[in-house]
Amino acid sequence: MRKSNYDKFPSTQTDGMAIVGWEKIVSTLNEQWADEPVWAIDLYPGTYEEDFLVAFAKTGRKIIDTRSLMRPEEEIRQLTERFITDDVLFGYLSNIRLYEYFEIDNGQLIIDNDKPCIIIGTGAAFVAEKLSTFPIVYADMARWEIQQRFRRHEVKALGIDNSQEEPSRQYKRGYFNDWNIVDRYKDELMQSGRIQYWIDSNNRQEPKMISDQQFRQGMERTVRKPFRVVPFFDPAPWGGQWMKEVCDLPREEQNYGWCFDCVPEENSLYLNLDGVLVEFPSQDLVLMFSRNLLCEQVWARFGKSFPIRFDFLDTMGGGNLSLQVHPTNEFAQREFGLPYTQDESYYLLDAGEDAVVYLGLKENIDERQMIKDLRAAQRGEISFPAEKYVNKLPAKKHDHYLIPAGTIHCSGANSMVLEISSTPSIFTFKLWDWNRLGLDGKPRPINVERGKHVIQWNRTTEWVNKNIRNHFEVLSQEDGIKEERTGLHPNEFIETRRHTFTKTVEHNTNGGVNVLNLVDGYEAVVESPEDKFEPFTVHYAETFIIPACVGRYTITPLGGEECKTIKAYIRK
């Protein structure tokens, strides 16, 4: 295997320098805002709030913690109860607004006009609106880092202390409630232009601050060229060994099962200021420049939500994924408040000789008996006989299996899957997990009772072979270039195309965002015929985004070898 050239730290060059460390951050604001009676330091949920309170207390100003102005925790739990539910994984998307968390008209907020103050915490700008004009600093967080803090039980949720709950429950509250509330609020602040500085609070030992002008410049430069989000990797009960080599990951780890290589709601972006990487959620780009990124039509359909997801599932030297099914649109909307569900596909980046994909049901099975067997397996009474009910298909490198919602499926061991899907990220109903425990030593949640309502029982062997198994259609072929249509199924809103090429291929976003992965070949260069952006080099297995506003672009192999790309975009 060749030396890895996978870039784990993609970034956009941004002018100026970052202000690094609490001492420099606080002194910079002190110098600029000495005459301002009120400052607002707004925090995204998941920040280490105590660090901010301690750092800014050194100014000598009165410190007001926004938590002290929120409604009692019991009231907040009652407010959010119907969205959080008592389910271990699933809730309902919240429509609560941030102002509903606060009680600031009851005399609690008393400001001594002779002593300037700093309001710190989530909603600081909202609270400060009750006082006077004021400057705002926004401290942002990458979702992946928030999840690590959940696992270490280090941070509180919005308005409550749930730090000792299971990480899955903390994530659920974030996903269904907190992040929706605060992203709407942050978007309003962004669009108002009132934020003057941004703080990257992902590294506790090294906070970094940049001006709003630098932040906007970095985001605008990103959205006008090809770019990559910052990938993150995670072990899994079924995890494999392939990504360790290809992505150059620490070899001492037991395995890596997941890589989120393009999930803008979860990933982050790096802005490079004179060699210092400053990290912000890639969702900030979606909020700020959604039309440039997605195009008018995709924005009109999906709003400020990036609808295409690419991630890796590594079972090379590992085990089977859980046997699972995704909810239908009707079920997802009714039960979870989702605008759309997770349709997907498996593209095989690599595969061992014994690789398989479980996909669809066998002909003439007994549906009632299958559910009985799944329930018995869930109770630990039997091992579910998956091959009695589910098709087990041989899989090889560069196969493409389409998985519209409602189709029972999973990848087997010794596969490297590029999962191409719509964006909802936790809506998988696990039906069977092969007698396996999670990494925490506990059984993983199984959802037979939900799954039975969404399994499409007519998707049997004949239907699978006819509709969703390796449906390649050659659209054009010339010397050195072949373009194929690979899917997805007509029920799904994502279209995919594969190009195999030894010379320059011309592409066009055609007014919609493109997401691509270099699925074969060592590296290639993406260029603009109109010189809209600097040449952008991509490497094997890297996912990259071409914003809608780019228009025409080309991809050329480097090193003289054949390359392949898989491209996804939204059907019109």
What pLDDT score was predicted for residue 106?
42
What pLDDT score was predicted for residue 107?
42
* AA identity, residue 561: E
Please, what is the angle between helix 22-32 and helix 49-57, to 10°? 50
Regions of the chain with pLDDT less than 50: 106-108
What pLDDT score was predicted for residue 231?
96
The four Cα atoms 250, 253, 254, 259 give a dihedral, to 10 degrees, of -60
What pLDDT score was predicted for residue 1?
54
The four Cα atoms 244, 249, 255, 258 give a dihedral, to 10 degrees, of -90
Contacts of 21 (CB under 8 A, 6+ apart): 206, 207
Compute CA distances 30 → 22, 27, 33, 215, 427, whole Å.
12, 5, 5, 21, 46
Residue with tokens 């090889």, as numbered in its chain: 396
What pLDDT score was predicted for residue 324?
95
Rounded Cα gap, residues 88 and 445, in angstroms: 8
Cα–Cα–Cα angle for 148, 280, 277, rounded to 5 degrees: 95
3-state secondary structure 348-393: EEEECCCCEEEEEECCCCCHHHHHHHHHHHHCCCCCCCHHHHEEEE
3-state secondary structure of 451: helix
For 231, phi then psi, to 5°, come to -75, 150
- Can you read off the two tokens belonging to residue 315? 């079972």
3-state secondary structure of 232: strand
| Residue 556: closest CA among 516, 506, 517, 509 | 506
3-state secondary structure of 81: helix
Q: Please give the helix or strand (H or E) that residue 79 lies within, else none.
A: helix 73-84
Burial category of 275 from C-beta neighbours within 10 Å (exposed 0-12, middle 13-18, buried 19 and up): exposed
- Can you read off the two tokens belonging to residue 220? 């605008």
Peptide bond connecting 269 to the previous residue in cis, omega within 30 degrees of 0: no
Cα–Cα–Cα angle for 409, 375, 435, rounded to 5 degrees: 65
Rounded Cα gap, residues 385 and 370, in angstroms: 9
Q: Please give the helix or strand (H or E) that residue 335 lies within, else none.
A: helix 329-336
- Can you read off the two tokens belonging to residue 63? 């410190």
What are the structural domains, with CATH classification, of the chain? 12-223 (3.40.50)
Residue with tokens 């859980």, as numbered in its chain: 322
- Can you read off the two tokens belonging to residue 435? 């007698």
